[in-house]
């Protein structure tokens, strides 16, 4: 699994991961939030998972609105 993190603020970050799910490659873009008790990040429900084959289309869409 490959992973990149982008700091959002003091308590959260956006993690982008590539992994296998049910036999296919997917890209997951998700907000992870710091659990103040455990002092570790946990995934939130805020995010999206797309087929890795659609990554280029996503990048082009992001560029078009940036």
Q: Closest by alpha carbon to 7, among 52, 41, 55?
A: 41
Q: Spell out the domain ranges in the chain.
A: 2-65
Query: What pLDDT, on a 0 to 100 scale, did the predictor assign at position 36?
Result: 87
Q: What pLDDT tens digit does each residue of the chain (66 aa) get?
A: 899 999 999 999 999 999 999 999 999 999 999 998 889 999 999 999 999 999 999 999 999 999
pLDDT digits (tens, 9 = 90+) for 9-20: 999 999 999 999
pTM of the predicted model as reported, rounded to 2 decimal places:
0.85
Which CATH homologous superfamily contains domain 2-65?
Answer: Transcriptional Coactivator Pc4; Chain A (2.30.31.10)
The sign of the dihedral angle between the CA atoms of 12, 24, 51, 45 is negative
């Amino acid at each position: 699994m490959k992973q990149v993190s982008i700091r959002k603020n003091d308590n959260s970050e956006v993690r982008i991961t590539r992994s296998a799910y049910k036999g296919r490659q997917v890209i997951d873009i998700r907000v992870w939030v710091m659990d103040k008790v455990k002092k570790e990040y946990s995934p939130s429900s805020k995010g999206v998972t797309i087929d890795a084959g659609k990554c280029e289309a996503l990048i082009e869409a992001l560029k078009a609105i940036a």
